[in-house]
Chain A
Amino acid sequence: MFGFGRKKKQATDWVDLKTQPVPEGHHLLEVNDLKMYFHTQDGVVKAVNGVSYTLDRGETLGVVGESGSGKSVTSLTIMGLIDMPPGKIEGGDVLYRGRSLVKMTEEEMEHIRGNDIAMIFQDPMTSLNPVYTIGRQLSEGMILHRGYSKQQALQRSIELLQMVGIPNAEQRVKDYPHEFSGGMRQRVMIAMALACDPDILIADEPTTALDVTIQAQIIELMQKMQEENGNAIIMITHDLGVVADIADKIMVMYAGQPVEFGTAEEIFYEPIHPYTWGLNRSIPDPVIDEKRPLTPIKGNPPSLVNAPAGCAFSPRCPYATDLCRTEQPPTYVTETGHYSRCHYAHDASFVSANAPETSRTKTMLDHAADAVAAAQEGGEA
C-alpha cells in the first residue's frame, strides 16, 4: 500500500496549476462520467458509477446523498487518495484547469493536493495528528508547497488561525489538537486547507460530527473564506438542508450514481427525480405542521455489488413500474443542464402530480434559512 518512494523532486521545476489560466472551453473542474470500482473478495463494488459535473471559481457545489452513496469516494478519487488496488478507475476523467488529474503521476498529484485542491474531513476529532502541535501541522503544507521557512510558516499559521476566528492565536499555535474543542478543530482544519490558497476546497461532511449550533458557524466561516479567496467549494453532506443556503449547484447521489443534478433552485423548487423528492420531504422542518410531517425515505440503499437490474432506486421508489425494474433509466437533460436519471423525468404531468407540494413554493428554502439563522444565534462551546 505505502511504498518507500524515491526522494521527491524539489518544487522548483513545478509551476502551480492554480496560476495557469483555465483553457478556452473548459471549466475549473470537470468531472466526466467518472467510475471508481473496488475489486474486493465479495465482488466489484461500484462505488462511483458515472459521476459528471462542472465547477468554476467562486461556485459551491453541494453533493447530497445517503451514507454509502459514493460521495466520499468521488472526492477522494479527484484527490487521487484512493488506494489502487483495491480501487480502479474504470472510466471517465477529471480535468482540473484542462489537465487530467487521473493521468497525473503520484508526484504531480502531490503538488496538486493541498495546494490547488484541499480537503477537510468529517471528524475533526480524529483528523489532526495527536502528537504534533497545531502550528506544526498548519505549517507543513506551506513549507512543502510555498517553500516557506519554519518561521514564516508559523507566522502565517498564526494569521490563518486569527482569520478562522480562533482567539489568542499566538498562544494557540503551540497547543496540541486535544486542547481544542470539536468546533475549534474544524476551524483549524479549515485554516489548514486554506493555508496555500487553493482553487477548490472539498469539505466532506464538515459539520456532521459537530453540535447543531456550531454547524452553522462552520458553514458561515467557509462561506466567508470563499468570499475572500474566491475558491470553489464542493460541500458533501447527507443532509439536503445543510446546502440549502450555500450551494449554487447540487448533485444528488444514489448508489454511486448522480440521480439528479441542477442549480440549487432547480433541486429545491423543481426537482424531477423521485429520490430528490424524498430528500426534500425529509429535511427536518423547524415548523413541523401536521399537513407535512417528516417523511424519511423508506428502505435501505441497494448493494453496490449486485445492483438492481433497472433503476437503482426502484426497490424503494413508490412510483416504480416494470420498466423501472428492468431497464436502466436514461439521463434526461433539460436546456439548463438540469439532469435526472428517471424514466419519467421528461413527463411533466408525472412530475407535477408527485413532486412534494412544498418544494414548488419558497417555504422550504425559507425554513432552512431560518434554521441556520436560529442556530447561528447560539454561541460556540
Chain B
Amino acid sequence: MLRYIARRIIQFIPVFLGVTLILFVMQNVVPGDPIKLIAGEKKLDPQTEINLRASYHLIETDENGAPIFDEEGNTIETPLWKRYISYITGLLHGDLGRSYQQNGKEVTKILSQKYPYTFKLAVVAIVLESIIGIAAGMVSAIKRYSAWDVGVTLVTSGLVAMPAFWFGMLQQLFWGILMKQWTGGGFYLPISGTGGPYAEFPSWVYYILPALTLAAVSTAYTARIMRSQLLEVLNQDYIRTARAKGLSRRAVIWRHALKNALIPVVTYIGMDFGGMLAGAILTETVFNWPGVGFETYRAISQRDWPIVMGSVTVIVIVVMVINLIVDISYAFLDPRIRFDGSNNE
C-alpha cells in the first residue's frame, strides 16, 4: 500500500510540473500588463513601476534588490525559465509569492483566508449530494417505473441539462426575490455573501442556496449512477443466491446489493468533492461567496498572476490527494482490488 502511494506521488510530479508550466507560459501570452494594472486608470510613475517590477522579480536585480540596467539604460526582463525555477523553489519553501493587486499581500495568506469558505461549502454540498442522490437513486431503482422513478428521471435530466450558474440565478430569483415579494418580506433566503456578526440571518442560512446550486448537477448524476448501479447489481447471480438462502428482499438490498452498487457511486462523489475543492468559480461568483473560486476568477480578470498560480498550485495538489484517497478507499469497498502490484483476477 505504501509503495502504491509512493508510486502515485512520483507519477504526480510530471503532471504537476506540466500544468504549472503551461500556466506560467500563459501569463506571458495573455494581454494586459499586470504591473500597469496595479494603478488602475491612473498612469504609473516610471520609477515606481521599475521598483514594483524589481520587487516581484520580473526584472533582473543585484544582491540588494536594485534593478540592473543594460547599456541603453533599460531594465532587463528576467527570463521565464528563471522565474519558473524561483516559483518552484519558493513553493518548496511554502512560499507562493505576493499578490500584485492587494498591496503585495502574501498569496499563502490570501488563500488560507479563502480556502475555509470553499471547503465548508464543498462539505455541505457533498453531504447534500450524497444523501439526496443516493436515497433518490435507491428508491428509483427499487420502485422502478413508479411515479417516483419517473419524477426522479425527469428532474435529474433537467438538472443535468441546466448550466450551474443559471440554476443558481434562478434560485436567487425565486427564493430571494419572488419569495420576498409574495410573502411581503415574511420569508426569503439570502442570495449573496456569507453573513457575519451583523447579518440578517444566522450563518448557516447563507449556505443553503450556494450549496444547493453547487450540489444540484452532481446530485442528479449521483442519483442516476446509483439507480443504474443498483438495478444492475440486483440482476446479478449473487443476489439470487442471497434470496435462495432465505434472506428477505430488504436484507438482500441492504446487505448484498448496496455495498456493490456504492463502489462506483463513491468514486464519483469523491472525484466530485475534489472538483468542488478546486473552487466552484461559477457558484462562488454568482453568490459572492469569498472562496478560492471567486478569488481565482477575480485574480484572472485583474491579471494577478501570483494568486492564480498559487490557487492553481493548491488546487492541483488537493485534487491529486483526493483522487488518491478515493483510489485507496476502493480497496476497502472492493476486496478484489489490492495495491500490491499483482493482479488477483
**A residues whose Cβ falls under 8 Å from a Cβ of B:** 1-5, 8, 79, 81, 106-107, 110-115, 118-119, 121, 123, 126-133, 140-141, 144-145, 176, 178-179, 189, 192
Tell me which residues across on chain A come within 8 A of B334, comparing CB atoms: 130-131
Measured between alpha carbons, how far is A129 from B237 in the docked complex, in Å?
Answer: 8
Measured between alpha carbons, how far is A17 from B335 in the docked complex, in Å?
Answer: 38
Please give me the residue from chain B that is nearest to A145 by CB atom.
B246
Tell me which residues across on chain B come within 8 A of A107, comparing CB atoms: 248
Contact among B144, B245, B336, B345 with A114 in the assembled complex (CB-CB below 8 Å) = B245
Are B246 and A119 in contact, with the CB atoms below 8 A? no
Tell me which residues across on chain A come within 8 A of B248, comparing CB atoms: 5, 8, 106-107, 110
Are B245 and A192 in contact, with the CB atoms below 8 A? yes
What is the total of A-B residue contacts with beta carbons within 8 Å?
98
- Judge whether B333 is part of the interface by a CB distance below 8 angstroms: yes
- A115 touching B246 in the complex, CB below 8 Å, given contacts A2-B252, A130-B335: yes
- 26 pairs from A and B in contact (CB 8 Å cutoff): A2-B142, A2-B249, A3-B143, A3-B249, A3-B250, A8-B248, A8-B251, A81-B240, A107-B248, A113-B243, A114-B245, A118-B245, A127-B237, A127-B241, A128-B238, A129-B256, A129-B260, A130-B238, A131-B259, A140-B245, A144-B247, A145-B246, A176-B335, A178-B336, A178-B345, A192-B241
- Shortest A35–chain B CB gap in Å is 22
Please give me the residue from chain A that is nearest to B236 by CB atom.
A126
Q: Which of B213-243 touch A at CB < 8 Å?
A: 234, 236-238, 240-243
Interface size on B, residues (CB 8 A): 31
Measured between alpha carbons, how far is A8 from B247 in the docked complex, in Å?
Answer: 10
Tell me which residues across on chain B come within 8 A of A8, comparing CB atoms: 248, 250-251
- Shortest B148–chain A CB gap in Å is 12
Q: Mark B236-275, 1 if CB is under 8 A from A, else 0.
A: 1110111111111111110110011000000000000000
Contact among A1, A123, A131 with B333 in the assembled complex (CB-CB below 8 Å) = A131
Contact among A113, A123, A127, A176 with B336 in the assembled complex (CB-CB below 8 Å) = A176
Measured between alpha carbons, how far is A114 from B247 in the docked complex, in Å?
Answer: 9
Contact among A113, A130, A132, A189 with B246 in the assembled complex (CB-CB below 8 Å) = A113
Measured between alpha carbons, how far is A112 from B246 in the docked complex, in Å?
Answer: 7
Are A130 and B345 in contact, with the CB atoms below 8 A? no
Q: Mark B130-163, 1 if CB is under 8 A from A, else 0.
A: 0000000000001110000000000000000000
Measured between alpha carbons, how far is A131 from B333 in the docked complex, in Å?
Answer: 7
Q: Which 10 A-B pairs have the closest CB atoms?
A: A114-B246, A114-B245, A113-B246, A126-B237, A129-B238, A176-B335, A119-B244, A141-B245, A127-B237, A2-B249
- A131 touching B249 in the complex, CB below 8 Å, given contacts A2-B234, A3-B142, A113-B244: no
- Judge whether B344 is part of the interface by a CB distance below 8 angstroms: yes
Are A81 and B335 in contact, with the CB atoms below 8 A? no
Please give me the residue from chain A that is nearest to B145 by CB atom.
A1
Tell me which residues across on chain B come within 8 A of A130, comparing CB atoms: 238, 260, 334-336
Measured between alpha carbons, how far is A112 from B236 in the docked complex, in Å?
Answer: 22
Tell me which residues across on chain A come within 8 A of B256, comparing CB atoms: 129, 132
Q: Looking at chain A's contact residues, is the secondary structure mostly helix, strand, loop, or mixed?
A: loop
Are A178 and B237 in contact, with the CB atoms below 8 A? no
Q: Looking at chain B's contact residues, is the secondary structure mostly helix, strand, loop, or mixed?
A: helix
- A121 touching B260 in the complex, CB below 8 Å, given contacts A113-B246, A178-B336: no
Tell me which residues across on chain B come within 8 A of A189, comparing CB atoms: 241
Please give me the residue from chain B that is nearest to A8 by CB atom.
B248
Tell me which residues across on chain B come within 8 A of A113, comparing CB atoms: 243-246
Tell me which residues across on chain B come within 8 A of A110, comparing CB atoms: 246-248
Q: A81-B244, A127-B237, A130-B260 are in contact. List 7 more A-B contacts (CB 8 A).
A: A1-B234, A3-B142, A3-B250, A113-B246, A130-B334, A144-B245, A192-B245
Contact among B142, B241, B335 with A4 in the assembled complex (CB-CB below 8 Å) = B142
Tell me which residues across on chain B come within 8 A of A128, comparing CB atoms: 238, 241
- A126 touching B142 in the complex, CB below 8 Å, given contacts A5-B249, A178-B335: no
- A140 touching B236 in the complex, CB below 8 Å, given contacts A2-B253, A129-B256: no
Measured between alpha carbons, how far is A111 from B246 in the docked complex, in Å?
Answer: 6
Tell me which residues across on chain A come within 8 A of B144, comparing CB atoms: 1
Measured between alpha carbons, how far is A176 from B234 in the docked complex, in Å?
Answer: 20
Tell me which residues across on chain A come within 8 A of B345, comparing CB atoms: 178
- Shortest B46–chain A CB gap in Å is 70
Please give me the residue from chain A that is nearest to B239 by CB atom.
A129
Measured between alpha carbons, how far is A145 from B143 in the docked complex, in Å?
Answer: 28
Measured between alpha carbons, how far is A192 from B246 in the docked complex, in Å?
Answer: 12
Measured between alpha carbons, how far is A119 from B334 in the docked complex, in Å?
Answer: 26
Measured between alpha carbons, how far is A84 from B178 in the docked complex, in Å?
Answer: 49
Measured between alpha carbons, how far is A133 from B259 in the docked complex, in Å?
Answer: 13
Are B236 and A144 in contact, with the CB atoms below 8 A? no
Measured between alpha carbons, how far is A128 from B250 in the docked complex, in Å?
Answer: 18
Tell me which residues across on chain B come within 8 A of A112, comparing CB atoms: 246
Are A123 and B244 in contact, with the CB atoms below 8 A? no
Please give me the residue from chain B that is nearest to A128 by CB atom.
B238
Are A121 and B241 in contact, with the CB atoms below 8 A? yes
Measured between alpha carbons, how far is A204 from B240 in the docked complex, in Å?
Answer: 12
Tell me which residues across on chain A come within 8 A of B246, comparing CB atoms: 110-115, 141, 144-145
- Shortest A83–chain B CB gap in Å is 10
Tell me which residues across on chain A come within 8 A of B142, comparing CB atoms: 1-4
Q: Which of B28-47 touch A at CB < 8 Å?
A: none
